[in-house]
Homo-oligomer: A and B are copies of this chain.
Amino acid sequence: MSGNRIVVLSGGIGGAKLALGLSAVLPDGELTVIANTGDDFEHLGLTVCPDLDTLLYTLSGLANPQTGWGRRDETWTFSAVLESLGGETWFQLGDGDLALHVERTRRLRGGESLTRITARFAECWGLATRLLPASDDPVRTMVQTDQGLLAFQDYFVARKCAPRVVSIRFEGAERARANPAALEALASPDTKAIIIAPSNPYLSVDPMLAIAELRDALGVAVAPVVAVTPIIGGAAVKGPTAKIMTELGIEVSPLSVARHYGGLIDGFVLDTADADLRDSIDVPALVTDTLMSSLQDKRSLAETVISFARSLRSPAHAASAAQ
Additional pairs, 6, CB under 8 Å, beyond known A78-B98, A85-B99: A75-B95, A78-B102, A79-B99, A87-B106, A98-B98, A102-B102
A78 touches B96 (CB 8 A): yes
Task: Report A's interface with B, CB cutoff 8 A.
Answer: 44-46, 71, 73-75, 77-82, 84-87, 94-100, 102-103, 105-106, 109, 120-121, 124-125
Q: List 28 A-B contacts (CB under 8 A).
A: A45-B45, A45-B105, A45-B106, A45-B109, A46-B102, A71-B81, A73-B77, A75-B75, A75-B77, A75-B95, A77-B77, A77-B99, A78-B98, A79-B99, A81-B95, A81-B96, A81-B97, A81-B98, A81-B99, A82-B102, A84-B124, A85-B99, A85-B121, A85-B124, A85-B125, A87-B99, A87-B106, A98-B102
The complex places the Cα of A85 from the Cα of B107 at a distance, in Å, of 12
The complex places the Cα of A111 from the Cα of B74 at a distance, in Å, of 33
Closest to A89 in B: B99
Closest to A87 in B: B103
Closest to A94 in B: B77
A106 touches B44 (CB 8 A): yes
The complex places the Cα of A46 from the Cα of B102 at a distance, in Å, of 9
B75 touches A100 (CB 8 A): no
